[in-house]
Structure 1
């Protein structure tokens, strides 16, 4: 698998790129009936705008690739970072993606190496649970995006966006696109995000600009992702894709070490 292939970032590096499986015991489902307390979905503080839609995800023989490429995963949310420059921000966003069960896409050039210590530190030990795909350019990403099945659209988050993030109506299949900390989104990304057919428009997170030039990238991504998740009733958080089970009944995830 080349660099643009599907990846799960694992902080335990090996010298050679390889695919392996690890197992864990117990049920990590957010919808476990034995869990104490009321379900998040019944809390009036998190009242959704849309009814919850039940989905099932079939994991492929490799444990991961089909989960990220099949239609079920496509119907949820994705986060796209265009040329991020600060490893700590990307690591923090990766941790948020792990917590919200969404995919993360990084578009080169990056301002750091994937084995950067700050990147791994910000993501802590959550890297094995983040589905990451690295694209060599915006055009490479666009080609990948166009090949995905199901309803989908690109949403550009920018301080000059036309709609406030909490007023925008999100739907399954939305890809939340963020620019770099220094330059924002490139023209080609903004063009595609506003293009009829694949674009959903530009979105802004309101702020007082008198004292602050812009919000931190990881903060913006977290605000946007959880507002979109709230409107979708947190369905991807409450119904995460199931892992493949081996012959002993243990759940398996395929991982690929990229910190080589």
Structure 2
């Protein structure tokens, strides 16, 4: 059993809590039973897994699967798990996984969501979860958004991170234009229109374009939209959380198409 937080392996886990380290090593952390289950369900490779004896006792079947699919497995103390986890009360298992070339969203596609400069990992994870649930073909984020494999993004996605095609773009203008040229309509939200989001035709191939939590979409991206729609709100309410706006838009698409 590993008991020292000074152990080189433990230090490796701890360093991966840092975004720069994850980018340089092309590795990231998976934390918690549910994420490990989802990773195993889609055969996502795990390099190293650390778990406690209590976790091992409560999850014998998953432990067997992990042993079959992981390069290295270590039994560790509660103190070690707490030091390598990013949550206050970890449930007893943390893994290192490789950053793989994720399946990119198709161009064109029936339903795609594109996010510009999203900063809150909880928002991004929630949008990933919702996009998967609503049947989106994929999701793109701008390069200056929070990392897709940020631990909070992974947790907020509730495991759907492994099931949705996702990509990072260093030029959203070119990306959105490429969808447009393939016949996909571009829809963005704004308060400066009288057209509600439920009053437009979303049954045709659609790309939903959403911007930063505070600043919204840049003018050059907003100008690409074929349709600008509003989400009706009571007087005095300026805006909705971007994850909420994404959910409303995605499920209006699903409603119209069903």
Distance 1:153 1:207 in 2: 25
Q: Give the unaligned 5+ runs of structure 2.
A: 1-27, 32-41, 45-100
Distance 1:97 1:177 in 2: 13
Question: Contact between 1:158 and 1:178, CA under 8 Å: does it hold in 2?
Answer: no
SS of residue in 1 equivalent to 2:130: helix
Residue matched to 1:118:
152
- What count of residue pairs does the alignment treat as equivalent? 164
Distance 1:11 1:152 in 2: 35
Matched, 1:217 2:242: yes
* Cα shift readout 1:176-195 (whole Å, capped 9, x = no counterpart): 111111111111111111xx
Q: Tell me the CA shift for residue 12 of structure 1.
A: 4.2
Q: What TM-score does the superposition give when structure 1 sets the normalisation length? A: 0.57
Q: Tell me the CA shift for residue 79 of structure 1.
A: 1.0
Q: Give the unaligned 5+ runs of structure 1.
A: 1-9, 14-20, 24-61, 194-198, 234-260
| C-alpha distance 82-173 of structure 1, shift in aligned 2 (>3 A) | same
> Is the deviation greater in 158-167 or in 181-190?
158-167
Higher fraction of helix: 2
* Cα shift readout 1:48-75 (whole Å, capped 9, x = no counterpart): xxxxxxxxxxxxxx9956xx4366xx2x
- Structure 1 segments, 4+ long, off by >4 Å, are 10-13, 62-65
Matched, 1:69 2:103: no
Question: Contact between 1:83 and 1:179, CA under 8 Å: does it hold in 2?
Answer: yes
Distance 1:146 1:166 in 2: 21
Residue matched to 2:254:
229
Residue matched to 2:210:
178
* Cα shift readout 1:142-191 (whole Å, capped 9, x = no counterpart): 354356x4x31111112223410111121221101111111111111111
> Is the deviation greater in 166-175 or in 180-189?
166-175
Q: Tell me the CA shift for residue 126 of structure 1.
A: 1.4
Residue matched to 1:87:
121
* Highest RCO, 1 vs 2 (Cα 8 Å, sep ≥ 6): 1
Distance 1:158 1:80 in 2: 15
SS of residue in 2 equivalent to 1:206: coil
Higher Rg of the two aligned structures: 2
SS of residue in 1 equivalent to 2:187: strand
